[in-house]
Structure 1
Amino acid sequence: MAESDKPNWPPPLDHEYTLKEDEIAFFKQESGITDDQALKEHILKVQSDAYAIYPYPCIRRFAFATLKISRYPFYKDVLKLGKERPGAILLDIGCCFGNDSRKVIRDGFPKDQVIASDLRQGFWDLGHELFKSTPETFDVPFIAGDVFSDTLIAPAEPAYEPVTGANPPLKSLTSLNPLIHRISVIHASAFFHLFDEQQQFTIAQRLAGLLSPEPGSIIFGSHIGSAGEPSNRSNASGGISYAHSVDSWKELWDGKVFKKGSVKVDAFIHEMERKDRAPDREGKYIATLLVFCVTRL
């Protein structure tokens, strides 16, 4: 039985307001709402609207409002690429409201070199509501599409030789295909764990086809992983997704997706408290995040 067919689905929203100080400061800066209570009410309203579009757990438990991209140890490398590599493009895949797209721009990555994509246009539109912007005041291009659709990302082998010619204007794009072999940074957080093992492999292949062969180009992010052996798990839609271990994740990228030795894969498990998870043997409510960075050599 799919989750959507079960009684009491979807679960009720968690209205616990759990933003950190720097996240509150970021929301105030981006939205212009400086009153704490007004900001809280505004964010909770957008949460309810987003949950009606699709009840992802990250929306239910308030994770949608957190900043992910700037927490990673690889973030300094992302900002360095934006500042030092001419025309470096950053793709925020599975971007939801665009929190991380806005954060990386706020921290110095050139705005006209950022592009975002998600399955549902509605989440990006709610991002404008969340941050009190419009497509004109925050004109980062967004492309709605299914990562498994060839019209969004066609299958392409990774490039191992330099790519010539100028990058296309990002605002003119209706597909990511003109960016094959041209993207310097791909951010993918809370994304891979929505899919099964074969689907994750397919996504990895497609993202690898987008990545520039220039040394230092990276794919990074985090998702639910396994601190032990890789395993299947049920996902938010009642289907099966796959939790890679650190070792299996490294093997996937270095040798299967890319030629062996052509990338460096950094990965580690980060444990975090998640009260919506089942307790482990010690009675702790723990989720295991697999944090990773794949770097072209």
Structure 2
Amino acid sequence: MDRIKLPLDENLWDALQIDDGPELEYLKSQTGIHDPDTLKKHIMAVQAKAYEYSPYFCIRSFSFARIRIHRLPAYPAVMSLVRERPDAIMLDLGSCCTHKLGLKLLDTYRSNLVGTDIRKVAVDGYPLQNLLASDLRREFWDLGHELFQSTPGTFPVSFLAGDVFDPSFLTLASVSTSTSASSTPSPALSNLASLTTLNGQTSILHASNFFHLFDEQKQTELAYLLAGLLSPLPGSMIFGFHVGREKKGWRRDILCSGRQMFCHSPESWIQLWESIFPKGTVRVEAVLQKQGEYHPSLLVSEGPDDGVMVWSCIRL
């Protein structure tokens, strides 16, 4: 089905309610633009360019300008882990995927299209050389530089474009049962040609607004792929959020012309991850949030069973 392309609406900026407080101060500090009106015009100019690439709802609603990763329950553990293991690699997985929905190709549907969250991680002290962003397309990453008025020189976080379901980009690997560090030196992220090199070496993997793009079979396949990337060391984790339901099944996604979206429940999501890793080697938590704290637009739905599932899978 075709994605709905509504006209841009300046009033949606006011609906975000970030005209004061920490989020606005963050945007000011990262863009270098301190006048609120000038900042708003700058963000709208980037929004218009992004909307021409693809008319995603998260672009129209300005959600790409919000930071959410620091609100996730697992985030303090992320920062604690990197203090203990300064060389820990973190991968922010966007929508490194191409998946057929009807006759159309769905490439990405993220509130973090321009790298907003990974920039927050960097600001909070994560070593830049150990951060990697990956998405299907580079255009939005480049727009992130425009939004935050940075360059690859001033913000040298590596970016790798590719399709996570393409075996030439990410080869499925067995889940490691070892609890010791790999003897293989960590690769230089700026030199990577594919994600396969990171199998078994990724300490932190963030995947938000991602899994709900696919049907149940593809979500399972994706979970196995990400599990293969994860380091066996205790504390290594995969975490994020996406649309969920109280009972797993299909829901109608109003934002994409009514296409069907498969959603796990917290119970089925926990069961999936526990079936991938050896028993007793991970702690999986998943909670369904009915409020729009993480992504208000995702709660545009057809029934009361829908919500945003906030989750983590952490190595023990």
Q: Does TM, scored on the shorter chain, surpass 0.5?
A: yes
What is the match of residue 107 of structure 2? none
Paired positions, count? 286
Q: Deviations over 1:193-237 (max 9, x none)?
A: 1111111111111111100000110000100000x2101134455
Of 164, 171, 174, the match for 1:157: 174
Structure-1 separation of matches of 2:76 and 2:56? 29
What is the match of residue 7 of structure 2? 12
What is the match of residue 254 of structure 1? 274
- What is the identity percentage for the equivalent residue pairs of Structure 1 and Structure 2? 43
- Helix, strand or coil for the counterpart of 1:147? coil
CA spacing shift, 1:13–1:158, aligned 2, 3 Å: farther
Report the aligned-residue RMSD.
1.9
- Helix, strand or coil for the counterpart of 1:264? strand
Q: Deviations over 1:149-176 (max 9, x none)?
A: 1122111111111322210111111211
- Helix, strand or coil for the counterpart of 1:171? helix
Decide whether the 8 Å contact of 2:92 with 2:207 is kept in 1. yes
* Residue 189 of structure 1 pairs with residue 212 of structure 2: no
What is the match of residue 251 of structure 2? 233
CA spacing shift, 1:215–1:103, aligned 2, 3 Å: same
* Residue 207 of structure 1 pairs with residue 230 of structure 2: no
Structure-2 separation of matches of 1:118 and 1:136? 20
- Where does 1:1-297 land on structure 2 (aligned, <5 Å)? 2-4=1-3, 9-15=4-10, 16-17=12-13, 18-20=16-18, 21-94=21-94, 96-161=113-178, 162=180, 163-226=182-245, 228-235=246-253, 236-237=255-256, 239-255=259-275, 257-273=276-292, 274=296, 277-278=300-301, 280=303, 288-297=307-316
AA matched with 1:195: F
AA matched with 2:310: V
RCO higher in 1 or 2 (8 Å CA, sep ≥ 6)?
A: 2
Decide whether the 8 Å contact of 2:251 with 2:302 is kept in 1. no
AA matched with 1:241: M
AA matched with 2:80: K
Deviates more, 1:45-54 or 1:116-125: 45-54
Deviates more, 1:167-176 or 1:242-251: 167-176
AA matched with 1:289: V
Q: Deviations over 1:10-69 (max 9, x none)?
A: 123343111532121111111101110011111112112112212222222222111111
Structure-2 separation of matches of 1:14 and 1:289? 25
Deviates more, 1:62-71 or 1:11-20: 11-20
- Helix, strand or coil for the counterpart of 2:286? strand
- Helix, strand or coil for the counterpart of 1:3? coil
Shift of 1:278: 4.5
Decide whether the 8 Å contact of 1:197 with 1:241 is kept in 2. no
Deviates more, 1:124-133 or 1:67-76: 67-76
Structure 2's unaligned 5+ residue stretches are 95-111
AA matched with 2:267: D
Structure-1 separation of matches of 2:173 and 2:167? 10
Q: Deviations over 1:224-281 (max 9, x none)?
A: 000x2101134455543311100000001001x2223221101101122447824647
